[in-house]
C-alpha cells in the first residue's frame, strides 16, 4: 500500500509557495503523468507491432509516483491526468488513484482524470468514480470492429464499448478522443458524431502527430487537417465556435442541430503553444515540458537520492525553466518537420 507522504503533502487548497511559472510567463497547473509504458493494444500510429517495453526496475514505483505527483500539487498543479501506455494495465494502479484522491479531499487538487483505451474500464469504472474521478477520456478511432482490430493489431471493440457503458453507469463523464486518419476513418466522420451525440459523449478530434518510428511518408499519408474535417461537418451541420476552454489545447464548437460539443486539437495546422499550461511526466521520472521536443529533465535520480523535498522542488523548478516556447511539428509543403523518434507511450498521452 502507498503510505501518505509527509513531504509535499499540501496543507490547504492554496499553494504552499510560488507557483510554477516558465520563462514565457505561463503558469503550469496541469500535469499528465504516465504510470506505465505498457499497453494491451499496438495501435499502428503509436507503437511497433513487436514492442520491447522498459525493464520494470526503470519504472517509478507507485510510492515514487505519489511523492513526485504530490510535489507538483504542492507547487500549484491543480489538474492531474493519469496516462500510459494504458494506465489501467499497471498492477495495483488503483492504489495510486487512492493516494491522489487525498489531494482532492484537501482541495489542493481540483481534478483527477484519466485517458484510457477503454479495454479495462469496465472493471475499474466504479472504483474510479468512488475515488473522485469525474470524467475520463477514451481513445476510440473507429466504430467498425474489423477496422478497430486492424488498427489496434490485438484489440477488440466490444470490451471498449462495454467499458464506456460501465463508466456512464458509474456516473463518469466520457469524452471520446479520435485521431483523424486520412483514408481510414474519414468515411466514419458522421457516424462518430452521430453515435457520440446519441450516447451523450463529448467528442474531440486530434491531428496525427509525427512521433514514433513510422516512415515520414506514412505520417503524411495519414494526416487529415482538421480544417478540412470541420468544413465537411459544416456541409451538414450548423457549427458555432465556443469561447470556453478546459485548459487544454482543444478549440470547441457546438453542433446546433444536436447540441453536442466537438473539440479540435490541431498541433500541426494551428499551433496552440502560446497558452500551454501543461507538462508531462514519464513513467521513468522524466519531465517533458513539451510533447514536441526531445528535451527532458531527470527527476527519478533526485527521488532515489533520498527524501529531500528541497532538492525535489529545485529539480522540478529547474525543469519548468527549460519549457520551450512551442513545438516544431509541421507538415506544410508536404514534408515533416519536428518529427520525434520517441513514442507516445513513453512520454504519456
Per the domain annotation, does 131 fall within a domain? Answer: yes
Looking at the structure of the chain, the number of domains it has is 1
How do the residues of the chain divide into helix, strand and coil, expressed in percent and rounded to 5? 35, 20, 45
Say yes or no to pLDDT of 347 above 50. yes
Confidence band (pLDDT; 50, 70, 90) for 170? very high
Torsion angle (degrees, nearest 10) of CA 160, 163, 164, 165: 120
Per the domain annotation, does 8 fall within a domain? Answer: no
Per the domain annotation, does 63 fall within a domain? Answer: yes
CA dihedral for 184, 190, 193, 194, sign (positive or negative): negative
Can you name the residues that pair with 261 across neighbouring β-strands?
A: 254
CA–CA gap between residue 303 and residue 158 (Å, rounded): 41
Per the domain annotation, does 3 fall within a domain? Answer: no
Per the domain annotation, does 333 fall within a domain? Answer: yes
Per the domain annotation, does 13 fall within a domain? Answer: no
Contact 207, 224 (CB under 8 A): yes
CA–CA gap between residue 125 and residue 163 (Å, rounded): 8
Mean pLDDT of the chain: 86
The rounded Cα 277 to chain-centroid distance in angstroms is 13
pLDDT tens digits along 276-288:
888 999 999 999 9
What's the rounded mean pLDDT across residues 34-55? 90
Contact 117, 86 (CB under 8 A): yes
Let me know if 278 is exposed, middle or buried by CB neighbors in 10 A (0-12, 13-18, 19+). Answer: buried
Strands 202-207 and 173-180 turn out to be parallel
Per the domain annotation, does 252 fall within a domain? Answer: yes
Q: Which domain holds residue 57?
A: 20-347
Q: Residue 255 has which C-alpha cell?
A: 453542433
Backbone angles phi, psi at 287, to 5 degrees: -95, 110
Q: Residue 261 has which C-alpha cell?
A: 460539443
Confidence band (pLDDT; 50, 70, 90) for 214? low
pLDDT tens digits along 252-264:
999 999 999 999 9
Confidence band (pLDDT; 50, 70, 90) for 223? confident
Contact 81, 115 (CB under 8 A): yes
pLDDT tens digits along 96-150:
999 999 999 999 999 999 999 999 999 999 999 999 999 999 999 999 999 999 9
Residue 180 maps to which CATH number?
3.20.20.70
Q: Residue 106 has which C-alpha cell?
A: 484537501
Per the domain annotation, does 92 fall within a domain? Answer: yes
Amino acid at each position: 500500500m502507498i503510505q501518505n507522504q509527509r513531504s509535499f503533502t499540501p496543507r490547504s487548497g492554496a499553494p504552499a509557495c510560488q507557483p510554477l511559472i516558465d520563462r514565457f510567463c505561463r503558469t503550469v497547473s496541469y500535469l499528465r503523468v504516465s504510470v506505465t509504458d505498457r499497453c494491451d493494444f499496438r495501435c499502428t500510429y503509436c507503437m511497433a507491432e513487436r514492442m520491447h517495453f522498459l525493464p520494470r526496475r526503470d519504472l517509478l514505483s507507485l510510492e515514487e509516483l505519489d511523492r513526485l505527483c504530490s510535489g507538483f500539487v504542492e507547487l500549484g498543479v491543480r489538474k492531474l491526468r493519469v496516462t500510459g501506455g494504458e494506465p489501467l494495465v499497471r498492477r495495483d494502479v488503483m492504489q495510486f488513484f487512492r493516494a491522489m484522491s487525498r489531494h482532492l479531499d484537501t482541495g489542493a487538487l481540483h481534478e483527477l482524470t484519466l485517458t484510457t483505451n477503454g479495454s479495462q474500464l469496465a472493471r475499474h469504472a466504479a472504483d474510479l468514480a468512488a475515488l473522485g474521478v469525474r470524467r475520463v477520456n477514451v481513445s476510440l478511432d473507429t466504430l467498425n470492429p474489423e477496422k478497430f482490430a486492424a488498427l489496434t493489431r490485438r484489440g477488440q471493440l466490444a470490451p471498449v464499448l462495454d467499458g464506456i457503458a460501465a463508466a456512464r453507469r458509474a456516473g463518469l463523464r466520457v469524452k471520446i478522443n479520435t485521431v483523424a486518419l486520412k483514408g481510414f476513418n474519414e468515411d466514419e466522420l458522421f457516424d462518430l458524431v452521430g453515435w457520440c451525440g446519441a450516447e451523450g459523449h463529448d467528442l474531440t478530434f486530434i491531428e496525427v502527430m509525427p512521433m514514433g518510428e513510422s516512415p515520414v511518408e506514412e505520417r503524411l499519408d495519414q494526416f487529415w487537417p482538421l480544417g478540412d474535417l470541420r468544413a465537411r461537418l459544416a456541409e451538414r451541420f450548423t457549427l458555432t465556435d465556443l469561447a470556453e476552454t478546459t485548459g487544454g489545447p482543444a478549440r470547441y464548437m457546438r453542433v446546433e442541430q444536436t447540441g453536442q460539443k466537438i473539440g479540435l486539437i490541431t498541433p500541426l495546422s494551428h499551433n496552440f503553444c502560446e497558452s500551454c499550461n501543461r507538462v508531462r511526466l514519464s513513467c521513468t521520472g522524466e519531465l517533458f515540458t513539451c510533447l514536441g521536443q526531445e528535451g527532458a529533465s531527470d527527476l527519478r535520480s533526485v527521488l532515489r537520492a533520498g527524501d529531500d523535498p528541497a532538492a525535489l522542488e529545485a529539480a522540478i523548478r529547474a525543469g519548468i525553466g527549460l519549457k520551450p516556447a512551442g513545438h516544431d511539428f509541421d507538415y506544410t509543403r508536404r514534408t515533416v518537420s519536428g518529427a520525434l523518434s520517441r513514442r507516445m507511450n513513453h512520454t504519456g498521452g
